Amino acid sequence: MEVQYIWIIVLIISLTVEACTMNLVTIWVALGSLVALISSLFIDEWMIQTLIFIVTTLLTLIFTRKFVTKVLKIESIKTNLDSVVGQVGIVTSEISENKTGRIKVAGKTWTAISCNTISIGEKVDILAIEGVKLVVRRRDE
């Protein structure tokens, strides 16, 4: 089998994987195999072609990955639950050490837990999400 066919196969496989994932997984391998395919038209030694493939793949990966991922980065949209982390809520039902309570944040009521007892009417910082409960702590003002 001629070496050109191997580079064509590698190119087709890497482009197919890239088209299926759309995550910039194999685009650099595709570029490396394309350059190796072109070099195979002028250089008969398969070891040199392989070296060209490896060097091209690594160089394009090193020098373009940050730029390409920055340009193509799509901002993730927070869900309702994700968007409450970092906000301030007001306790509507007392939160005890081992018992859940209720808080109101952004016009909605949520179940909340804390390692301290927090009374009704106190403000809390929302630290995280644990299952379907918000993890909160008393707000330091």
* pLDDT (mean) for 48-65: 92
Asked if residue 85 and residue 68 are part of one domain, the reply reads no
Q: Give me the percent of the chain exceeding a pLDDT of 70.
A: 89
Asked if residue 103 and residue 52 are part of one domain, the reply reads no
Mean pLDDT value across the chain: 86
pLDDT at 77: 55
**Bridge-based pairing state of the strands 133-138 and 123-130:** antiparallel
What predicted TM-score, i.e. pTM, was given to this entire model?
Answer: 0.51
Phi, psi at residue 59, to the nearest 5°? -65, -45
* pLDDT (mean) for 122-132: 88
State which residues form the domain around 100. 80-138
Asked if residue 134 and residue 85 are part of one domain, the reply reads yes
CATH number of the domain that residue 96 is part of: 2.40.50.140
Asked if residue 117 and residue 93 are part of one domain, the reply reads yes
Pick from 72, 96, 130: which residue ends a domain? 72
Asked if residue 8 and residue 32 are part of one domain, the reply reads yes
DSSP 114: -
Asked if residue 95 and residue 40 are part of one domain, the reply reads no
User: Is the model's pLDDT at 139 over the cut of 80?
Assistant: yes
Asked if residue 24 and residue 62 are part of one domain, the reply reads yes
pLDDT at 141: 62
Pick from 56, 72, 88: which residue ends a domain? 72
Asked if residue 11 and residue 36 are part of one domain, the reply reads yes
3-state secondary structure of 123: strand
Residue 101 near residue 128, CB atoms below 8 Å: no
Please count the structural domains in the chain: 2
Asked if residue 128 and residue 101 are part of one domain, the reply reads yes
Nearest CA to 138 out of 90, 82, 93 is that of: 90
Task: Quick: pLDDT tens for 93-120.
Answer: 999 887 899 999 888 888 999 988 899 9
> DSSP letter string over 42-88?
T---HHHHHHHHHHHHHHHHHHHHHHHHHHH--PPPP-HHHHTTT-E
Residue 74 near residue 121, CB atoms below 8 Å: no
**Bridge-based pairing state of the strands 88-93 and 123-130:** antiparallel
Asked if residue 87 and residue 66 are part of one domain, the reply reads no
Residue 111 near residue 89, CB atoms below 8 Å: no
Asked if residue 63 and residue 28 are part of one domain, the reply reads yes
User: Is the model's pLDDT at 20 over the cut of 80?
Assistant: yes
Banded model confidence at residue 78, pLDDT cuts 50, 70, 90: low
